[in-house]
Amino acid sequence: MRSELRCDDVRVELSARLDGEIDARTEELVVEHLETCRECRAHEERLQRIRHSIRVQPSPRVPDLTRSIMDRVASRPVGRGFAWPQIRTAAIAAAATALIVLGASLPGSDAPPDTARAAEIVRSIKTAARTLTSYHATFTVTELGWHPDVLRRRFSSEVWWRAPEKFRLQVRDLTVYPNADWPHNDIDLIASPRRYRIEEPSTCPTAALPRCSVFQGVETRTIVDRQPFDGNSRLPTDIALPLETLSSAEGLEVVEPGTYLGRDVERVRLPVAVALPLLRSIQVGGDWRAFHLRDRVELWIDRATWFPLRFIVTAGSSSDRSLWAQRMGYVSDRPGAELLDVQATRFSESNDFDPALFRSRVEGAVLDGGFTAQAVPGDLAAGVAGLEPYRVGSVRSQTISTFATGMYFLKVTSDRDRVGSAADLIDGSVVKVGEGFGLYHPASERSARKIDLFTRRGRTTLETNLPRTQLLRIAAPMASGSVIPSKIDGVLRLTETHLARTKALVPSWMPEGFVRTSALMSTADRTVTITYQRPETSFAGIRITQTPLVRRLQPTAEQTIAIELDDVVARWSFERSELEWIDGNVYRAVATSGGDLATAVQIARSLR
Amino acid sequence: MPIVHQPVEDDALFEPDPAVVRAARAGDSSAFEELVRAYQADVWRLCLHLVRNEALADDVTQDAFVRAFRFLKRYRGESKFSTWLFSIAHNCAVDEIRRAGRRRRTQELLHAQRPAEPQDPAASMEIRYAIESLPIDLRAPMLLIDIFGLPYREAGRILKLPEGTVKSRVHRARVSVAEMLEPKQKRANDEI
């Protein structure tokens, strides 16, 4: 006769018993039941087998996210849709979903650009940056298509800047929302040499508004003892002078000059991918709509001061853009539609500011930048490259010397820790500097353009918003004996010869202005990662990942679409802006940014 | 400040030195960084199994730590730090799954979608596929118990479920995985 427990109850208890989660009394009853019940004994064996199989699952290789997490804690990245996808060395794979055949024709420039005038504008801005020491302006901002229920938002914005590092931005949301549940996108950023404070709405993803489960309110973050020209709290000075946005004349289309507020203006057109430093400078913190990377920006620049007086973002018309807009929930986006219009209403170079403007209280989440200032040593008094000595000090094992004049700065960081991290290799290209070699990084969202030198004395990094050629000149005398490590943390830097020996393919097409920055191989699974960036300022790069011995793509929870690539079906992930497919038994993937599928397809086809 | 391993009976996850947590609560970023280094691997693995995609797991892990940092002041030590952190990671992953679900539903209106089954799966792939096919309410308890080896009590706190529910869901999850992996055996059992 069986015990009082029913088979269903016994089976749950058998499962718990495997985990040591059964009490003595119940166990007695279960054991008694098992003696007479063959099905439950079979069930127990089956549970044991399954539990064992699950427990001996191979553990996936875990990425080191410390740096990304600490960067985000220090300064949460702004906006959505442009995130450079995380570097993954492991291959992931996919299931084909719906099939979309994309006629990937890339919009080209209609007319040959006026390169001479574009170069003159770039030169003029570089010259103006040396003498500009203060700036004050007010703007009106109109944003369209942010949310299906709130298609038009209006803001007023005021900016104050005094060289080198006093900055204040105030954004006031003037939008009339459908009701009080909608968060107002009011932003306050106050920075001084030693402190940085940002106050912004803390909301859930735009699509979940106005109601969602996440805490809503105002979020304040303060960095105290901030190190000079800190990458985690960069000051968005392109709003005063578009030095990073127009760091190169490449891809600039100069159109007929015009007038604005009675002043002569130059008008240039450029893709969003290039204009990101400027767009970011108005969208600091808070919640804003995203742009597709090939949306267009028209920028009006004052011919006398080179201040940006107006910029308008309009929707691109590429074949993949409507898919992207649909996925992002931008229901009103149409080709050529206006998405953002920022207009200066007042501006001046006046420096007649109340000193209290740049003072801020320590509030909210507080981060200690750890910078200890020291007196400027005599040997630095002469400055570097025409820049005056600014602040000198240390953060942990690093010693930092900075120089600044006008909007320009140079930061020299020496670290006793000679070896960097694999992340340094990823977007760094090896360049000859004087007698040695350096690892060069274009300006990005995280830092200005910089060069790493590795010598016996340790690692020295020079970071600056001066042009690349000037940075290389300044670095030359310090580069003697500098050699780039060929391997860091299991990531191997590939030379051209090494790359040719792998199964990795190299694209024969890249968008205008992109150059190869690095080719790396993970020694663990022989994944080859090749990155491409713009040489001066590259807020949105391109990455090609290839892993041998992968036979199929793995299912994913992401939203994907299938893309026909000649004779194979590839998968496009909206989340990662990455196109991936299996070619024989090699996994290949092309990652762009900001939903730029057409570019990814064009590159993928050129790989084959 | 080193993270001190403080094993507690039956616990698979270690607990940090309370001084490190106190320092992080007080805004010491290097202390918080210690916590990130100590827990990111476990948090990432949990997120990976929940969201089933490495890149998303990266994002959700970051979201979880950013949220943990923001809410650290509210952590009063009533629960273990690992339980508190896992609970945040679980919430972030569930939020992400819901968002992905909404996006997918929109997509489904336009295109029929069906995940492909592996053609010739190696055994471990089969198990992974089977686990990933489980609904989230069964997958999460199974992960915490079978992958992380947590006691039912801690899993219940993370998932905000009574222990009895954890127990029955783990069992159901194991049976579901078994049925997916052993269809022939299932038929045999059913016939008995």
Instruction: Say if CB A146 and CB A170 are below 8 A apart.
Output: no
Closest CA to B153 of B143, B167, B169: B167
pLDDT band, residue A82 (cuts 50/70/90): very low
* pLDDT given for residue A463 in this prediction: 97
pLDDT digits (tens, 9 = 90+) for A215-231: 568 889 999 999 999 98
For chain B, the straight-line distance linking the first and the last C-alpha, in angstroms and rounded, comes to: 60
pLDDT at residue A107 tops 70: no
User: How many interchain CB pairs under 8 A, A with B?
Assistant: 182
Q: Are A292 and A594 in contact (CB under 8 A)?
A: yes
Min Cα–Cα distance to chain B from A306, Å:
39
Identify residue A355 by its one-letter amino acid code: P
* Three-class DSSP category at B128: helix
Q: Has residue A579 got a pLDDT over 50?
A: yes
What CA–CA distance (Å, rounded) separates A85 from A195?
A: 30
Which residues does A357 contact at the CB level (< 8 Å), separation at least 6? A160, A166, A168, A190
Question: Residue A64 above 50 pLDDT?
Answer: yes
- Closest residue on chain A to B37 (Cα): A66
Q: Report the pLDDT value the prediction gives residue A407, as an integer from 0 to 100.
A: 96
Q: Which of A105-114, A261-270, A403-412, B176-185 has the lowest mean pLDDT?
A: A105-114
Evaluate whether A529 touches A508 at the Cβ level (below 8 Å).
no
Question: Between chains, do B54 and A95 touch, taking CB under 8 Å as contact?
Answer: no
Contact in structure between A330 and A289 (CB atoms under 8 Å) = yes
CA distances from A194 to A229, A359, A383, A387, B35 (A): 10, 10, 21, 20, 26
Q: Identify all chain B residues contacting A208, using CB atoms and an 8 Å cutoff.
A: 99
| Residue A85 confidence (pLDDT) | 32
How far A456 CA sits from the closest chain B CA (Å)?
Answer: 28
Nearest residue on chain B to A208, judged by CA atoms? B99
CB contact under 8 A, B40 and A65: yes
Give the residue from chain A lying closest to B165, CA to CA. Answer: A12
Q: Is the ipTM of this complex over 0.85?
A: no
Least confident interval from A263-267, A319-323, B83-87:
A319-323
Nearest-by-Cβ selection for B170 from A15, A66, A367: A15
- The CA distance from B181 to the nearest CA of chain A, in Å, is 9
Altogether, the residues listed in chain A come to a count of 608
pLDDT of residue A484: 85
Which candidate from B65, B95, B146 shows the least CB-CB separation from A54?
Answer: B146
Interface-testing mutation among A21, A230, A322, A330, with chain B (most B C-beta atoms within 10 A) = A21
pLDDT at A100 over 80: no
Tens digits of per-residue pLDDT, A322-341?
888 888 889 899 889 999 99
Question: What is the residue-wise DSSP string for A516-563?
Answer: EEEEEEETTT--EEEEEE-SSB-SS-EEEEEEES--SPPP-SS-EEEE
Mean per-residue pLDDT for B93-105? 74
Q: Measured between CB atoms, which of A21, A202, A208 is closest to B167?
A: A21
**pLDDT at A308 (0 to 100):** 96
Name the pTM for this structure.
0.64
Q: Residue B11: is its pLDDT beyond 70?
A: no
